[in-house]
């Protein structure tokens, strides 16, 4: 009896967790890990998206990102100036051979400017990452809670 209850709890826990995570997307030697975004505050027309690019092969360059969710999509980097967090657009991002690049809060991020609709928790929208060598890679981002600061797949993994 105990075992059955335990199993049921486990399955319910899985059912709760899985829909929050997008699938990893592989193309050639590149893997785009679980893209995610954050719900927008009421009235906000700007959003952000994050993911990790793992490269098992030769160097490639991320040239741009496209998405129908916003009228303008930019890649930004964050930096601190005089104690204030600022950000500026970058024209491309190198993905080192056998290396990885993280887009995450307070770091590199995708800036979704002039959203076509508000982002709500659980929403999904496509992002197309255009690489110099691998070409376009389409992934799906899943919108997390407004207050989410670390990628959902890293929660509870001590990173």
Binding site for Cu ion (CB under 5 A): 76, 87, 111
- Cβ at position 111, least distance to Cu ion in Å: 4
Q: Which is nearer to Cu ion, 74 or 123 (CB)?
A: 74
Name the DSSP class of 108: B
Token pair for 117? 């609709």
- Cβ at position 113, least distance to Cu ion in Å: 8
- Cβ at position 66, least distance to Cu ion in Å: 16
Residue number with the smallest Cβ distance to Cu ion: 76
Q: Which is nearer to Cu ion, 53 or 110 (CB)?
A: 110
Give the DSSP H/E element, type plus range, for residue 75.
strand 70-81
- Quick one: 158 exposed, middle or buried, by C-beta within 10 A (0-12, 13-18, 19+)? exposed
Q: Which is nearer to Cu ion, 73 or 137 (CB)?
A: 73
- What is the rounded distance in angstroms from the CA atom of residue 9 to the CA atom of residue 107? 37
């Amino acid at each position: 009896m105990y075992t059955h209850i335990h199993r049921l709890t486990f399955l319910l826990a899985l059912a709760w967790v899985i829909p929050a995570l997008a699938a990893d997307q592989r193309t050639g030697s590149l893997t785009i890990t679980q893209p995610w975004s954050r719900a927008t505050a009421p009235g906000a027309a700007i959003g952000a998206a994050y993911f990790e690019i793992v490269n098992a092969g030769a160097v490639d360059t991320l040239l741009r990102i496209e998405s129908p969710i916003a009228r303008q999509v930019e890649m930004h980097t964050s930096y601190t100036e005089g104690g204030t967090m600022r950000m500026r657009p970058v024209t491309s991002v190198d993905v080192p051979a056998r290396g990885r690049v993280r887009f995450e809060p307070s770091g590199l991020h995708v800036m979704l400017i002039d959203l076509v609709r508000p982002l709500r928790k659980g929403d999904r929208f496509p992002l197309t990452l255009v690489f110099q060598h691998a070409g376009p890679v389409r992934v799906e981002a899943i919108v997390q809670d407004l207050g989410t600061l670390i990628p959902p797949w890293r929660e509870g993994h001590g990173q």
